[in-house]
Chain A
Amino acid sequence: MEPGPPTIPLAEAEALARAAGLERAWRQHRADVLEALASIARLRRHLPRGEDEAIEPCPAQVARP
């Protein structure tokens, strides 16, 4: 996914960081937190969505023959 500038308003970003318990990271590594939020926004644009609402999450394990 392409890198890009953070698009989330600062106050909203701070609220999200605090809600996630990342006060220290917000103080010391704010650019990293903003980039993390931007990364998630980019992911949401690229993440395929299941068309069928009934599809269940896939277990990692695959049956042995």
Chain B
Amino acid sequence: MTRPHELTLAEAAAAIAARGLAPSELLADCLERMAALNPLLGACIRIDAEAALTAARRLDEEAPRSPLHGIPVGVKDVIDVAGLPTTCHSALRLHHVAARDAAVIARLRAAGAIFPAKLATHEFAIGGPAFDLPFPPARNPWNLAHHPGGSSSGSGAAVAARLMPAALGTDTGGSVRHPASHCGIVGLKPTYDLIPRRGVFPLAWSLDHVGLLTRTVEDAALMLEAMAGGHYRAGIEAGLRGLRIGFVRHFHERDEPADPEMAAAIEAAARLLAREGAVLREVTLPPLSAFAAVNRAILWGESAPVHSRWLREQPEGYAAITRRRLLPGLLLSAEDYLEAQRVRGPLRAAVGAAFREVDVLLTASSMDPACRIDDPAAVERTYPRQARIAFNVTGHPAITLMAGLSRTGLPLSCQFVAPLWQEGLLLRAARGYERAVGWRGARPPIA
């Protein structure tokens, strides 16, 4: 018999709606799972079992409010949940307790979701896996010696290991889609501003997106409906036939040459989409280096006012890797920041122009499978070797999902991108690919 924690969000929602599963049963099984695996994974930095069980028992007595009724959702610990600390995985925020729910939490709570755990992140959603913080870094469920991606590292590890069916993350330079890539799950960054950021600790407000991680595309659509309103499931089974897909091959072939296995997986994805009836054509965008430089200048500039007091008065309060990533913000010139914002418009226009010829884009997400978490040079290399950052600069919705397994048993991935506000189209492409490729439900050994 399938244990409740193994169910996808959609399966659990159907079981709850049919009264075959109580929210408290689902939660209890997920809590048992967390107790067993979290000591290995470090995905959860706080498990709030008692309050979550109280909420679940109350939901047991209600008619289902929505598909999210009684669904445990993990929360990256930069997002406020009323009454719980929002530590940002930092010693500098250990005792900060949120007075009220973030807007996205309030929406999910109204839909019936339960929040049993705050999840590990890179410190302030920027650093990297660090061993000089109050909490350990999350680890990759496919291989505990490897990096799970970040900064929404706990969200990726928890969902892949089936501690919970869905989790929230934030994405400023790829931080939802990176863990999705490395953990073999689905990571969705919606259009900029689709999900309100109130109650989410900022990294760089003009690049910050609230996103979600699930095990299936259908689950991502269900989460998005609760987080944003709208009917995102409606067209996701429409299939790939006739869909015009622009293949941005130069990202992984020329701009940041991908690991051969990753490149092969992305090329295989393109061939599969064509076999399924999509119309593929190659598309050229500005080089990744242009997007990356603009993202970096904006991120540094916008993170500076958030962190200036701590950087000046308590620089030792950060992990070393976080301090190194944030310090440039206080030394950047206004000219550099504004130059990046000036160049941003033409970059967004270039991506927008591509969508006059195609419906969605197919690109790489990560250029490499997950590296070892104890190899600082390899960890450092993982952050720029990606094609996610472009769509934080432009604001376009993007989704990452599994595209295979490396010879060493680590997930490979690809990314779809859609026109602004066209999440339905994005989910249709991703669901069509997911159905054709057959990686849905792939389980890491720990699961």
Contacts and interface: CB of A to CB of B under 8 A. Distances in A.
Interface in A48-65: 48-50, 55-62, 64-65
Given A21-B308, A55-B342, A61-B193, A16 B293 contact: no
B207 interface: yes
B292 A1 contact: yes
B274 interface: no
Given A47-B343, A48-B343, A32 B323 contact: yes
B192 A47 contact: no
A37 B331 contact: yes
Interface string B416-440: 0000110000000000000000000
Contacts of A49: 339, 343
B336 A43 contact: yes
A8 to B, nearest CB: 10
B207 A36 contact: no
B395 to A, nearest CB: 5
B58 to A, nearest CB: 35
A47 B294 contact: yes
Interface in A6-56: 16-17, 20-25, 28-29, 32-33, 35-37, 39-40, 43-44, 46-50, 55-56
Contacts of A55: 342-343, 345-346
B145 interface: no
B66 interface: no
B327 A46 contact: no
B339 A40 contact: no
Interface string B342-369: 1111101000000000000000000000
Interface of A is mostly: loop
Contacts of B193: 60-62
Contacts of B380: 3
Contacts of A32: 315, 320, 323-324, 327
Given A1-B293, A49-B339, A28 B330 contact: no
Interface in B192-206: 192-193, 205-206
Nearest to B419: A65
Nearest to A2: B384
Contacts of B290: 48
A46 to B, nearest CB: 4
B414 interface: no
A49 B328 CA distance: 20
A62 B192 contact: yes
Contacts of B323: 25, 29, 32
Given A29-B315, A47-B339, A36 B328 contact: yes
Contacts of A21: 308, 312, 330
Contact of B316 (A29, A40, A43, A65): A29
Contacts of A40: 300, 328, 331-332, 336
Contacts of A61: 192-193
B395 A60 contact: yes
Given A17-B331, A50-B342, A60 B315 contact: no
Contacts of A17: 331
B446 interface: no
B191 interface: yes
Contacts of B330: 20-22, 36
Nearest to B308: A21
B406 interface: no
A57 B312 CA distance: 29
B342 A28 contact: no
B328 A39 contact: yes
A48 B192 contact: no
Interface of B: 191-193, 205-207, 286, 289-290, 292-294, 296-297, 300, 308, 311-313, 315-316, 320, 323-324, 327-328, 330-332, 336, 338-346, 348, 380, 384, 395, 420-421
Given A44-B336, A48-B290, 14 more contacts: A1-B296, A16-B331, A20-B330, A32-B324, A36-B330, A37-B328, A40-B328, A43-B300, A48-B343, A50-B339, A50-B343, A60-B207, A60-B395, A62-B193
